[in-house]
Amino acid sequence: MFNGTKVIALLTQSELTWNNGINWMLTQVEWSQLKTKKLTVPRHLKTGALAVRIYMPNCPQNSASPRRRPRLLSVHLSTWNLALSVLVLGIVFVSQLSHAQDNSSAPASVTAQPSIGGTAISTPSNPAKASSIAGTVVDKDGDVVPNASVVLTAVGSPSRQLKSAGDGSFIFANVTPGAFELEVKSPGFAAQTESGVLQAGEDYVAPPIQLVVATTIEVEVNGNPAVVAEEQIHVEEKQRVLGVIPNFYVSYVPDAAPLNTRQKFQLGWKSTIDPFSFGIAAFIAGIEQADNQFSGYGQGGQGYAKRFGASYADLVSGTFIGGAILPSIFKQDPRYFYKGTGSRKSRFFYAVASAVICKGDNGRWQPNYSNMLGSLAAGGISNLYYPASDRNGVGLTFENALIGIGGSAASAVVQEFFLRKITPHASDPSSGRN
């Protein structure tokens, strides 16, 4: 085992002065088994691990310096075991401490996440339900209003806008809970608002939002009265007594914009082709047939057809001559302007006078040439298709003209005192006055 090796000395750790040697740690058992002739053990050597300084004769460094005393590196085995144990315990302690800190910094509500293929999937523990606001836009009669502009203003969120659907419905999804306000607008109607408080996760359904006819039409037209008048005509074309009888030639806006020529003919055309106009002509022809008026037409289907044609011709000629052609020539407004204020007496005379006095396109009151001459012209034309036996020349013409003027006065009185209350979509004129 130690052939060719000479043991020089044996020292304790405190006597370690070795240099350029070989260090070999021996236990007590190994030491007892060591047999060598050159072994010197100092008296103060204690039991335990021993450090053996070994002299190697073949080592060039030792042979070059035989007098240099090699140093002995001595480390006690128990000291190494203790240091190693402390190091291992320290590593374990630090690892456990770091793991505990990581767990304590995580939210308490976080639970184990599911995973697919080893990849964690993040899912909310308690997802909140989104809130929404829905409703329907209707008019005064309960009919739906499509394409109405609905603006939602909610606390803490920017304003949102959409159009009502064909059935008048609308819905805002993902609305922030809290106070809100809905503003609904549509051409020809006054703006309406609806407010409330939306709870988290609530599907709020607003009551039907009812629009009423605007008393003043707000249109950005840069001072173009034709566009304003067009909007007002759209409102007037919805006016029907009891929702059936056309009431187009009445303006409930006292300062309504004047109509141009195209709009006057448009209003006359809408009035004459309305189904009710055909119905009233058929009704009059039936009464005349029953009383055998205008006997020259005869009886039977042919006689009824002639009476119906004559009755409808009276309506068309009176409407277009007195409501479109002459008003365009004299620049007069063919509509009746509802008064609605003052004493009953003043309102009555105002209505009767409208048959002979009208408002011009310039906004001033003037003789109603259109109505008077229109009635006279329509009466003259009627001589062309009434039976010869019932024609009375000039007398019949003026008779029909006077009947037409009187009919206009009576119609205006009915408009002033009765029809306003039973005409849907009629605006409130009092709110439009300054």
- 407 pairs with which residues across the strands? none
Contact 360, 333 (CB under 8 A): yes
Name the DSSP class of 295.
G
pLDDT per position as a tens digit, 349-396: 999 999 888 999 998 999 998 888 887 887 778 778 888 777 666 776
Give the domains, in start order, of the chain with CATH numbers.
6-78 (no CATH), 131-211 (2.60.40.10), 225-432 (no CATH)
pLDDT at 431: 46
Phi and psi torsions of 79, nearest 5°:
-65, -40
pLDDT at 155: 77
343: left (phi over 0), alpha (psi -120 to 50) or beta: beta
Residues with pLDDT less than 70, the chain: 1-90, 92-129, 214-223, 391-393, 396, 425-434
Contact 323, 334 (CB under 8 A): yes
pLDDT at 88: 63
pLDDT at 273: 93
pLDDT at 7: 41
pLDDT at 295: 86
pLDDT at 97: 58
pLDDT at 82: 62
Contact 73, 15 (CB under 8 A): no
Whether the model pTM is above 0.75 = no
Query: How far is residue 314's CA from residue 195's CA, in Å, rounded to a whole number?
Result: 53
Contacts of 88 (CB under 8 A, 6+ apart): none
Q: Is 47 strand, coil or helix?
A: coil
Contact 335, 251 (CB under 8 A): yes
pLDDT at 20: 38
pLDDT at 141: 79
Q: Is 400 strand, coil or helix?
A: helix
pLDDT at 278: 93
**Rg from Cα positions in the chain:** 56
pLDDT per position as a tens digit, 198-237: 888 889 999 999 898 765 545 444 457 888 888 888 888 8
